[in-house]
């Protein structure tokens, strides 16, 4: 099968298109023929060696950890899935390997692909949906009637978070810019702030929850905007403990994880069209190097997906 692998850490020049054997699933795993593989910022962080201490790997290995395709082989202990099932997946960090025609994943790292969406759309859901769900439902424990501020609301995770929050009955404020402003308005956001032209910190106060998808100065300016007893959840960096204490708010950094049970709780929303997927930018698998370069340099228009 075709795959993109690296034999050393470095820039995009270390990516190699290779032919390798199709992997064989263990008893608790399935083999998936991928139709689409999503490209994420974590891919270039792994490629560069930035995460080599926390996630040591043995060369060579394939990049990528999110995708969608068709099950072609099922391990003996797998009961929920069968050959021919269309699925979306987020392999654990230590396996990964979705820059390839086939990937082996654990059965608890996949969910059935909603019939209403394409393989390309499904390939971007595990991370964006998983991150938004974990941050809002599990970490922030959002409740009907609360107010939430979402930084970076125009991205894939942000747009999914808007929709989950609205479905849960929250008043939703979001920061974005450019064409993303109209996109989040189309999703029914209650208040959209252009962070380029407007200082969000003078437009917002007394929110129950801040979901930070940006970090840095944006996170630093968010502490005084939260009610006492409220919470800041960040996907980029741990909230500052001193600032949390000063303002009497809680803080947590979300760790995105693979969990088919979690995905199944919102599968009905996907099947019935209650969650819209931000349209990805499609590139052929042969352009994996270019795709990763676009993501690393923030030149992509939306989430990039490699299609087979």
Does residue 265 carry a pLDDT above 70? no
Whats the size of the chain, residue-wise? 308
pLDDT digits (tens, 9 = 90+) for 95-112: 779 999 999 999 988 989
* Count of domains forming the chain: 2
- 191 and 299 together in one domain: no
The predicted structure's pLDDT at residue 263: 67
Instruction: Say whether both 152 and 202 belong to one domain.
Output: yes
Is residue 43 located within the same domain as residue 141? Answer: no
CA-to-CA dists, residue 237 to 46, 65, 156, 215, angstroms: 17, 21, 18, 6
Asked if 160 and 116 sit in the same domain, the reply is no
Whether 78 and 194 map to the same domain: the answer is no
- 64 domain residue, yes or no: yes
pLDDT band per the 50, 70, 90 thresholds, residue 44: very high
Q: Are residues 133 and 120 in the same domain?
A: no
pLDDT tens digits for 61-88? 999 989 999 999 999 999 999 999 999 9
The range of the structural domain enclosing residue 234 comes to: 127-253
Assigned domain for 274 exists: no
Tens digit of each residue's pLDDT (9 = 90 or more) over 204-254: 999 999 999 999 999 999 999 999 999 999 998 999 999 999 999 999 999
Distance CA 283, CA 149 (A): 33
Query: What CATH number is given to the structural domain containing 87?
Result: 3.90.180.10
- Residue-wise burial string across 63-87, b where 16 or more C-beta atoms lie within 10 A, e elsewhere: bbbbbbbbbebbbeebeebeeebbb
Q: Are 107 and 265 in contact (CB under 8 A)?
A: no
Same-domain check for residues 118 and 142: no
CATH of the domain at 233: 3.40.50.720
């Amino acid at each position: 099968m075709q795959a993109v692998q690296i034999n050393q850490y470095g820039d995009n020049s270390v990516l190699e298109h290779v032919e390798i054997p199709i992997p064989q699933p263990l008893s608790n795993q399935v083999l998936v023929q991928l139709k689409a593989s999503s490209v994420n910022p974590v891919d270039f962080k792994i490629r560069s060696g930035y995460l080599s201490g926390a996630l040591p790997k043995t060369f060579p290995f394939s990049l990528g950890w999110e995708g969608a395709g068709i099950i072609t082989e099922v391990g003996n202990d797998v009961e929920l899935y069968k050959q021919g099932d269309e699925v979306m997946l987020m392999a654990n960090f230590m396996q990964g390997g979705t820059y390839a025609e086939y990937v082996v994943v654990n059965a608890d790292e996949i969910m059935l692909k909603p019939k209403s969406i394409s393989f390309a759309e499904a390939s971007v859901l595990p991370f964006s949906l998983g991150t938004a769900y974990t941050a809002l439902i599990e970490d922030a424990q959002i409740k009907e009637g609360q107010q939430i501020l979402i930084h970076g609301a125009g991205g894939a995770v942000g747009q999914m978070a808007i929709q989950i929050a609205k479905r849960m009955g929250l008043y939703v404020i979001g920061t974005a810019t450019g064409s993303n402003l109209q996109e989040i308005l189309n999703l029914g956001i209650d208040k959209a702030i252009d962070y380029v032209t407007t200082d969000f910190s003078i437009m917002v106060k007394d929110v129950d929850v801040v979901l930070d998808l940006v970090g840095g100065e944006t996170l630093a300016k968010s502490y005084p905007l939260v009610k006492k007893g409220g919470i800041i959840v960040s996907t980029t960096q741990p909230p500052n403990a001193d600032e949390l204490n000063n303002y009497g708010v809680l803080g947590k950094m979300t760790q995105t994880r693979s969990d088919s049970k979690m995905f199944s709780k919102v599968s009905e929303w996907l099947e019935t069209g209650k969650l819209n997927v931000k349209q990805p930018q499609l590139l052929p698998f042969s352009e994996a190097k270019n795709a990763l370069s676009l993501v690393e340099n923030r030149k992509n228009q939306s989430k990039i997906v490699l299609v087979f």
